Structure 1
Amino acid sequence: MTTDVTAALPQHHAATQSEKLVIAASSLGTVFEWYDFYLYGLLATIITAQFFSGVNETTGFIFALAAFAAGFAVRPFGALLFGRIGDLVGRKNTFLVTMGIMGLSTFVVGLLPSYAAIGVAAPILLVVLRLLQGLALGGEYGGAATYVAEHAPNHRRGLYTSFIQTTATLGLFAALLVVIGVRTAIGEAAFAEWGWRVPFIVSIVLLGVSLWIRMQLEESPVFLKMKAEGKGSKAPLTDAFAKWGNLRIVIIALVGAVAGQAVVWYTGQFYALFFLEKMLKVDGATANILIAIALALGTPFFLIFGWLSDRIGRKPIILAGCAIAALTYFPLFHALTNAANPALAAAQASAPVTVTSYNDACSFQFDPIGKNRFDASSCDVAKSYLAKAGIPYAAVNGADAVLPGAPTLDRHTVIAVGGTTLAMPDPAAMAPDERKTAIAKFQSQLQEKLTVAGYPAKADPARIDKPMVVAILFALVLLVTAVYGPIAALLVELFPTNIRYTSMSLPYHIGNGWFGGFLPTTAFAMVAATGDIYYGLWYPIVVAALTVVLGLFLLPETFRRSID
């Protein structure tokens, strides 16, 4: 029996029909799982209105992103739970279970009552379903990547596993197409009211197809050989993480490869979408279409970089992608502003907005319980209005600056729009009626100054340079393909068969679940705190740069290793 199984192991050869079926079935099933998982991210703005309407707009969007991130928070725990099962009982049956959990959780999201119908229970139930999705995805990816890699010829492992790497982007692309199709068919108003549920509900069909496809597959030959020889691990978690030799490789994989890969992935695809919608005020349908075009153009490069990694190695491609990202994010996102909302870019250049006040009078524009109206201080009134209007600004401490022609600050806040200034008196000293009148007058005057300075309420569709936006988004996606295409092969090759599912899944899901999954929430909160629409980019830039430095010295090259 051992001889037969060993003979079946993939060495150097051309792809067989059986191996092509493995790639196709594993990839298609994983595409559907990513479709389920990323629908939420695409519809974050609408979900804010449906499930977080009890708080102010900025807080609601941060909460919506936090619920999005909740699915990522539990991915490492899913990796531990299902990775252990996969190393004990097999790859195939484990990711059948994860697929079922993912598909059912997504379907139920489409049926959830809104905040208006059941109050705070709505966001709680939404977060519970996101947690189930995260657990399932924590077990899915490692199983699919390991399964394909263990079927691949030694000299084609990067190419074979790069098909799995396309699935995250293809799943996002499929979700975009469904969202765009439903939006176009029923109109934006109906979509915001009830049509957003349709992409979640139809996922039940994808679940049925995916389960049927996966059930046609056989178990991995490498796993069968290990079992036949009696070399399986009886305690995968202990062997993977309680022994320093393996734990050291897990840590190196995380900090020297996956963390940087994760922030580049989520910046290039999800944060770019949020940036277009929230910061640049491009309407959701247009932003979805532009991202979809860039993804369609970029997706073949996952395979190209996977193929290239079989020839020159995994490490140089991944680290080069991280380094280029860290160096180019600021100019790329500035260029995106110029192309997507030229009126906003022109207004920022000709009439920058500054908010000058004493720091102790300012609150962070985040209200977790929905009770703060941000009207207790003049600084809060000013920043709250700017945040809600999506106007970028620079905050200046009143102790450090005095504006020419402006009144003495005292407890006032002074907003400068280009060469003009406007003071908001301290509302704390006012009676309620007087405060309300003063705030309304201030907001009206501020809006007038912003309008005169050219700050747009929305991006003008006629002025969007769509080819340039697609080109910039394509550049961001190209960086994603460089770091993500070879990562599965690298992780598979780092660890032995008996603990491979467990060992590779944990660093992957800590990196992509925590470093990457929390990126939109963290970056948007950084923007809300500072008023600078580019400030959130420091998060992926710093993480990517650290990965380059640590990976250069610690990460081994693996592309010539045998995994049998």
Structure 2
Amino acid sequence: MSAKRPGPAPGRVAAEPVRGRASLRTIAAASLIGNLIEIYDFILYSFVAALVFGPLFFPGAEPWLGTLYAISSQAVAFVVRPVGAVLFGRIGDRFGRRTGLILTLGMMGLATVLLGLLPPYSAIGAAAPVLLVVLRIMQGLAYGGEWGGAILIAVEHAPAHRKTLYGAIPQVGATLGIGLAAGSLWLLGTVVSPATFRLWGWRIPFLVGAVLIAVGVVIRTRIEETPEFRAARARSHSTVRRAGLSATLCEGGRPILAMILNWQAAAVAVLTFATGLLAFVPRHVPGLDAADVQIGMLIATVVVAPVTVGAAWLGGRLGRERVLLIAGVFTIVWAFPGYWLIGSGHPALLWLAMTVGLVNYGLTNGVIGATMSEHFPVRLRYTGLSIAFAVASVLGGAVLPIPALAWSERLGGSTLPLALVFLVGGLCTVGGALWTKRLPKFGECTPS
């Protein structure tokens, strides 16, 4: 008598494998390119807001306050991310990951086109900042549903022994998207004069991004639905219909909280070194300007992309939670030395501080996708991942950095508030990594 083949673990739905290396390469390319394009559009706003949106859309305020208002307007996008996570998570868990991803990319593309064409305050008055905020809300809703879907389209297609690696691929795309946004602005700044850039040059990257969005939508319409989702729907269509916010919070409440903590080091690093330094350095660090920060972002992304892949490999050997723990400890250790180097006023030291400071982003990116995915059942996975990422972005991208920038201004340009935010992000990630290791997997809803 032959032994029975073991079935799937409790809570796991057996999935059809993806056959052929070509298929896996197509899925990897689609998840990387789509996330690259969407993060490019989302982060581009952050960069431009710190550079020119203050005088263009908030001209009545003192220059620094106008810049702070512009940066605060992007915080709205982080606040509405959880709404987008619930909306597109519901779509992705009921109708499929592919459907959710096409809709998010389309919404981001529309908002990006309109941003590139938006008249300033001098042309349409108070309607300009209002429309700016509305379009930023659209971007926030779209990106709230993008990240979870991009991770799942990769992880749920991948073989079991490569889920960590494929979960890292969309994050490589995110890193490259940040670099592309910084690089496009730096290149534009070398081609046109500062006055021309403020007048109309800033619009060009937005309109180019809209073209890239169209390419991304075409690519995503050509990929198949994930095998794990198809298997779950085939097994019990009623199970898929029971997906929703209440079920996700019941079965995945603790994993969501743990993942929010895990994300803080990476979220704080990216937002303080992207938007924060573009607003802070030209005003408070003599000898440096916005172009130095943009070059630093380019250098950092070139380094962080391979770090992300290396972290995925390391996660398969040391364990994903240990890699997250290393990222948190690294953030704590670098908080004060990093900002001391930034305040030195030397471009090379600024670039060193930014590059080393964003290593934690690469370490987190390498393992976070697969780590988060394994703590939710298939029918709730899109919503669970999206909510965790969205709320983490609100905390690390808005609640912590923006008050720190305001506090820094009151202290005459001190880097202490920014360093403290960096430190808090690292402590949160250390706590989240330790907690994640003790959590049950596949979203079991156990009574407390």
- TM-score w.r.t. length of structure 1: 0.72
1:522 paired residue number: 403
User: Aligned-pair distance for 1:9?
Assistant: 2.4
Letter in 1 for 2:154: V
- Equivalent positions of 1:252-331 (< 5 A) are 252-255=258-261, 257-281=262-286, 282-331=288-337
Q: Are the structure 2 counterparts of residues 335 and 540 from structure 1 closer, same or farther at C-alpha, using a change threshold of 3 Å? A: closer
The answer to which of 111-120 and 227-236 deviates more is: 227-236
2:125 paired residue number: 119
1:548 paired residue number: 430
Q: Are the structure 2 counterparts of residues 251 and 498 from structure 1 closer, same or farther at C-alpha, using a change threshold of 3 Å? A: same
How far apart in 2 are the matches of 1:55 and 1:517?
Answer: 21
1:534 paired residue number: 416
How far apart in 2 are the matches of 1:286 and 1:265?
Answer: 16
User: Aligned-pair distance for 1:207?
Assistant: 1.7
| 2:128 aligned with 1:246 | no
1:488 paired residue number: 369
Q: Are the structure 2 counterparts of residues 239 and 121 from structure 1 closer, same or farther at C-alpha, using a change threshold of 3 Å? A: closer
| 2:17 aligned with 1:9 | yes
User: Aligned-pair distance for 1:251?
Assistant: 2.0
How far apart in 1 are the matches of 2:76 and 2:211?
Answer: 25
- Equivalent positions of 1:38-77 (< 5 A) are 38-43=43-48, 44-77=50-83
Is residue 84–residue 501 contact of structure 1 (8 Å, CA) maintained in 2? yes
Is residue 328–residue 427 contact of structure 2 (8 Å, CA) maintained in 1? yes
1:225 paired residue number: 231
User: Aligned-pair distance for 1:557?
Assistant: 6.5
User: Aligned-pair distance for 1:471?
Assistant: 2.2
Is residue 267–residue 519 contact of structure 1 (8 Å, CA) maintained in 2? no
User: Aligned-pair distance for 1:561?
Assistant: 8.2
Output one character per residue of 1:469-506: Cα deviation in whole Å (capped at 9) or x when no partner.
Answer: 32222111212211222111111111110100011110
How far apart in 2 are the matches of 1:63 and 1:151?
Answer: 42
Q: Are the structure 2 counterparts of residues 558 and 246 from structure 1 closer, same or farther at C-alpha, using a change threshold of 3 Å? A: closer
1:91 paired residue number: 97
- TM-score w.r.t. length of structure 2: 0.89
- Equivalent positions of 1:392-471 (< 5 A) are 464-466=346-348, 468-471=349-352
Is residue 522–residue 536 contact of structure 1 (8 Å, CA) maintained in 2? no
User: Aligned-pair distance for 1:550?
Assistant: 5.0
User: What is the number of residues matched between the two proteins?
Assistant: 428
Q: Are the structure 2 counterparts of residues 84 and 202 from structure 1 closer, same or farther at C-alpha, using a change threshold of 3 Å? A: same
Letter in 2 for 1:319: L
Q: Are the structure 2 counterparts of residues 520 and 279 from structure 1 closer, same or farther at C-alpha, using a change threshold of 3 Å? A: farther
Is residue 83–residue 501 contact of structure 1 (8 Å, CA) maintained in 2? yes
How far apart in 1 are the matches of 2:82 and 2:93?
Answer: 16
How far apart in 2 are the matches of 1:276 and 1:528?
Answer: 12
Q: Are the structure 2 counterparts of residues 500 and 241 from structure 1 closer, same or farther at C-alpha, using a change threshold of 3 Å? A: closer
Determine which of 123, 143, 154 is the counterpart of 2:149.
Answer: 143
Question: 5+ residue gaps in structure 2?
Answer: 1-12
User: Aligned-pair distance for 1:280?
Assistant: 1.5
Letter in 2 for 1:504: L
How far apart in 1 are the matches of 2:354 and 2:198?
Answer: 26
Letter in 1 for 2:423: I
Is residue 84–residue 502 contact of structure 1 (8 Å, CA) maintained in 2? yes
Question: 5+ residue gaps in structure 1?
Answer: 342-463
How far apart in 2 are the matches of 1:102 and 1:529?
Answer: 35
User: Aligned-pair distance for 1:530?
Assistant: 3.1
Is residue 265–residue 331 contact of structure 2 (8 Å, CA) maintained in 1? no
| 2:100 aligned with 1:80 | no
Is residue 164–residue 367 contact of structure 2 (8 Å, CA) maintained in 1? yes
User: Aligned-pair distance for 1:268?
Assistant: 4.3
How far apart in 1 are the matches of 2:245 and 2:432?
Answer: 26
Is residue 264–residue 544 contact of structure 1 (8 Å, CA) maintained in 2? no
Is residue 15–residue 228 contact of structure 2 (8 Å, CA) maintained in 1? no
Output one character per residue of 1:77-96: Cα deviation in whole Å (capped at 9) or x when no partner.
Answer: 10000001100000001110
How far apart in 2 are the matches of 1:294 and 1:550?
Answer: 25
1:503 paired residue number: 384
Letter in 2 for 1:51: F
Letter in 2 for 1:233: V
| 2:35 aligned with 1:154 | no
Output one character per residue of 1:379-428: Cα deviation in whole Å (capped at 9) or x when no partner.
Answer: xxxxxxxxxxxxxxxxxxxxxxxxxxxxxxxxxxxxxxxxxxxxxxxxxx
2:9 paired residue number: none
Q: Are the structure 2 counterparts of residues 225 and 239 from structure 1 closer, same or farther at C-alpha, using a change threshold of 3 Å? A: farther
| 2:84 aligned with 1:202 | no
Output one character per residue of 1:154-212: Cα deviation in whole Å (capped at 9) or x when no partner.
Answer: 12111111111112221111112221222222222211221111111222211221111
How far apart in 2 are the matches of 1:198 and 1:141?
Answer: 25
Output one character per residue of 1:39-84: Cα deviation in whole Å (capped at 9) or x when no partner.
Answer: 1111122111211111111211111110111111111110000001
User: Aligned-pair distance for 1:549?
Assistant: 3.2
- Measured on the aligned residues, the alpha-carbon RMSD in Å equals 2.4
Output one character per residue of 1:308-340: Cα deviation in whole Å (capped at 9) or x when no partner.
Answer: 1122111111122112212221111112222xx
How far apart in 2 are the matches of 1:76 and 1:312?
Answer: 32
Q: Are the structure 2 counterparts of residues 543 and 287 from structure 1 closer, same or farther at C-alpha, using a change threshold of 3 Å? A: closer
User: Aligned-pair distance for 1:558?
Assistant: 8.4
How far apart in 2 are the matches of 1:289 and 1:526?
Answer: 26
Q: Are the structure 2 counterparts of residues 550 and 295 from structure 1 closer, same or farther at C-alpha, using a change threshold of 3 Å? A: closer
Q: Percent identity?
A: 33
- Equivalent positions of 1:9-28 (< 5 A) are 9=17, 16-28=21-33
Determine which of 203, 219, 243 is the counterpart of 1:236.
Answer: 243
Is residue 178–residue 199 contact of structure 1 (8 Å, CA) maintained in 2? yes
User: Aligned-pair distance for 1:515?
Assistant: 2.5
Is residue 319–residue 548 contact of structure 1 (8 Å, CA) maintained in 2? yes
Is residue 266–residue 358 contact of structure 2 (8 Å, CA) maintained in 1? no
Letter in 2 for 1:180: W
How far apart in 2 are the matches of 1:161 and 1:18?
Answer: 16
Is residue 65–residue 520 contact of structure 1 (8 Å, CA) maintained in 2? no
How far apart in 2 are the matches of 1:265 and 1:227?
Answer: 37
How far apart in 2 are the matches of 1:27 and 1:259?
Answer: 22
How far apart in 2 are the matches of 1:37 and 1:279?
Answer: 26
Higher Cα Rg, which structure: 1
User: Aligned-pair distance for 1:250?
Assistant: 1.9
The answer to which of 554-563 and 276-285 deviates more is: 554-563
User: Aligned-pair distance for 1:145?
Assistant: 0.4
Q: Are the structure 2 counterparts of residues 550 and 102 from structure 1 closer, same or farther at C-alpha, using a change threshold of 3 Å? A: closer
Letter in 2 for 1:224: R
User: Aligned-pair distance for 1:296?
Assistant: 1.4
Letter in 1 for 2:31: S
Letter in 1 for 2:16: A
The answer to which of 491-500 and 310-319 deviates more is: 310-319
